[in-house]
């Protein structure tokens, strides 16, 4: 997590400059970790996002939309009681620690002006958000509560006194000079590398920033302290003083660091250690934090939901595979059971010469050699009764095999359907699409309905399709079975051109053609490319894509979501 004390200091100054004097209109708590404070300042509305997430703890202004629970959690109710209507007076960092105080001036029950402090502790797995009375230092409530049984150093519970987290006993950048560096390095960190010594000495910096300080000082961070000389110490002093001046004067140059599509880091200044990567400049720290950490947070949530849904599907597929194998065994048993019919036929053909007993010796006229074989019988049954018993075994095996074939067809159909859901999950890029897939899985009884779901819940929102424009034609893509059904069976017109990869799961793609024009080859290739990229064959070199008029596409009655049949199709080979 790159939100270290050095980065927070820039973020604090910038955010305070935008929000100081803002009035709190409304407070929301979206989940177990995250808050939104709606603020109004000089005729403008702002949304301050504060998160105590163990991996994604942060604060920043946001323009993103978040879903709010119907019933606000207790901590949210406490915040509304004490902070709504109050004014944000100050945003200050505790030294260079990852602790930020949001100070609000409010009116208490007696009509007196009092200050309440919302403390954001952005400390990885120990992150928390605590509401404290500034004068009495008493905790009103917190995002995470910790009794003494869980935290012997300090108790985080309503009504208890608030204490700051234990200090790390490091030096502020403003306290560091040449004599201090020499003393600290030689007396305390002589066996450390230069990078580790800087990290151990300077408050509020991350390992990456410690490496950056060494780099700016012309020192290899892996160099042992015992090999450093006076020039190295002098350079370290100059670097730290220069960086602290930039911090105190708020001269930030926010940068997003990327490696291709992967977000590597974000920094308040350009870092030499990231020169090999793409450095994208930002106008302000708030947007940078929202894009990087917020984006990573959303990606994590998307991936977590994908993993959950895939786990459910994988479990269902495993069940179906076992059922398929059992039915396949029944068919094989029937093939072995053909001998029962033969035995019944041979006994029936030789009833006139067979005597009741344990076995019968008969000629096998089914065999080219016409050899004699022994057929076992139950001696308490007549030869005819034994023959009927063999016929009964045969008919039972045949009925089981016939039923097994039907079941195998149904299982194969269901496995194809589950495969289509997996393809949709893999292709999904946002939580909204995954929510639609989850709802489909609930409707098809692969997931249990939420016990908290209430009757009379508001109707589903209209399906929003992925739309693009190419050469004057609108092209639509369905990203799950619900969207596919809507796109093909409700949204499309008979003259539209419909696309789907051949014989494998994938998205339905539609080219709108309201004027019944001749669709250019370039548009057909573009739509087919979208179908190929949004299918299970997206990693192949060449993908065949079928296309036909929508009027030739039908949905069989009672079929699974997303399943259709079509005819009069042409096939185009798409190279990916």
pLDDT tens per residue, range 269-289: 999 999 999 999 999 999 999
d(CA 325, CA 411): 10
Q: What is the DSSP string of 442-498?
A: HHTTSSPPPTTPPTTPPPPPPPPPEEEEETTEEEEE--SHHHHHIIIIII--TTSEE
Contact 440, 480 (CB under 8 A): yes
Separation in Å, CA 528 to CA 431, 476, 481, 522: 26, 11, 18, 10
Contact 37, 103 (CB under 8 A): no
Q: Nearest Cα to 132, choosing from 78, 66, 211, 212?
A: 78
Task: Report which secondary-structure segment, H or E, holds 405.
Answer: helix 383-427
Q: Nearest Cα to 148, choosing from 166, 160, 140, 138?
A: 160
CA 170, 176, 178, 180 dihedral sign is negative
Q: Nearest Cα to 371, choosing from 362, 380, 379?
A: 362
| pLDDT score for 241 | 97
d(CA 390, CA 386): 6
Going along the chain from its start, the domains and CATH numbers come out as: 5-142 (2.30.310.10), 173-285 (1.10.8.50), 308-427 (1.10.287), 466-575 (no CATH)
| pLDDT score for 461 | 59
Model pTM?
0.66
| pLDDT score for 455 | 44
| pLDDT score for 450 | 54
- Residue ranges in the chain whose pLDDT is less than 50: 1, 451-458
d(CA 504, CA 534): 11
Instruction: Please state the separation of Cα 263 from the chain's center in Å.
Output: 16
| pLDDT score for 454 | 45
Contact 503, 535 (CB under 8 A): no
């Amino acid at each position: 997590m790159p939100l270290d004390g050095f980065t927070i200091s820039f973020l604090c100054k910038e955010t305070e400059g935008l929000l100081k004097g803002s009035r709190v209109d409304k407070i929301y708590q979206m989940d177990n970790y995250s808050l939104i404070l709606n603020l109004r300042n000089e005729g403008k509305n702002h949304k301050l996002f504060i998160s105590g997430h163990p991996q994604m703890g942060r604060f920043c202004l946001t323009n993103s939309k978040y879903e709010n629970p119907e019933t606000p959690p207790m901590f949210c109710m406490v915040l509304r009681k004490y902070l709504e209507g109050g004014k944000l007076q100050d945003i200050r960092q505790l030294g260079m620690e990852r602790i930020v105080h949001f100070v609000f001036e409010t009116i208490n029950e007696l009509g007196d002006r009092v200050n309440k402090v919302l403390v954001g502790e952005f400390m990885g797995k120990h992150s928390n958000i605590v509401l404290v009375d500034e004068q009495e230092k008493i905790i009103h409530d917190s995002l995470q509560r910790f009794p003494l049984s869980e935290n012997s150093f300090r108790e985080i519970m309503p009504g208890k006194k608030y204490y700051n987290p234990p200090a790390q006993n490091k030096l502020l950048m403003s306290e560091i000079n040449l004599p201090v560096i020499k003393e600290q390095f030689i007396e305390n960190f002589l066996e450390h590398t230069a990078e580790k010594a800087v990290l151990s000495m300077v408050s509020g910096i991350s390992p990456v920033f410690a490496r950056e300080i060494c780099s700016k000082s012309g020192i290899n961070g892996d160099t042992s302290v015992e090999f450093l000389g006076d020039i190295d110490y002098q350079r370290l002093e100059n670097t730290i003083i220069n960086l602290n001046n930039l911090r105190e004067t708020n001269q930030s140059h926010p940068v997003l660091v990327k490696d291709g599509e992967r977000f590597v880091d974000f920094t308040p200044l350009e870092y030499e250690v990231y020169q090999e990567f793409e450095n994208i400049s930002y106008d302000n720290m708030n947007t940078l934090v929202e894009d990087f950490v917020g984006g990573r947070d959303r990606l994590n949530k998307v991936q977590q939901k994908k993993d959950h849904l895939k786990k459910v599907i994988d479990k269902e597929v495993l069940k179906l595979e076992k059922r398929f194998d059992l039915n396949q065994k029944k068919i094989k048993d029937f093939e072995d059971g053909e001998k029962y019919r033969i035995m019944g036929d041979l006994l029936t053909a030789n009833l006139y010469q067979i005597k009741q007993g344990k076995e019968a010796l008969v000629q096998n006229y089914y065999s080219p050699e016409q050899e004699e074989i022994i057929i076992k019988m139950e001696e308490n049954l007549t030869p005819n009764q034994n023959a009927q018993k063999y016929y009964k075994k045969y008919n039972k095996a045949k009925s089981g095999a016939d039923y097994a074939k039907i079941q195998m067809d149904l299982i194969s159909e269901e496995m194809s359907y589950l495969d289509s859901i997996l393809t949709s999950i893999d292709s999904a890029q946002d939580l909204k699409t995954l929510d639609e897939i989850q709802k489909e899985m609930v409707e098809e009884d692969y997931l249990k309905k939420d016990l908290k779901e209430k009757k009379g819940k508001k109707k589903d929102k209209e399906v929003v399709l992925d739309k693009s424009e190419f050469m004057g034609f609108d092209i639509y893509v369905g990203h799950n079975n619900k969207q596919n059904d809507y796109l093909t069976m409700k949204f499309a017109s008979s003259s539209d051109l419909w696309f789907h990869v051949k014989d494998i799961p994938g998205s339905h793609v539609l080219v709108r053609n309201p004027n019944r024009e001749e669709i250019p080859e370039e548009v057909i290739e573009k739509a087919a490319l979208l179908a190929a990229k949004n299918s299970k064959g997206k990693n192949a070199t060449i993908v065949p894509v079928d296309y036909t008029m929508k009027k030739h596409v039908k949905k069989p009655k009672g079929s699974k979501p997303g399943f259709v049949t079509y005819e009069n199709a042409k096939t185009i080979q798409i190279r990916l």
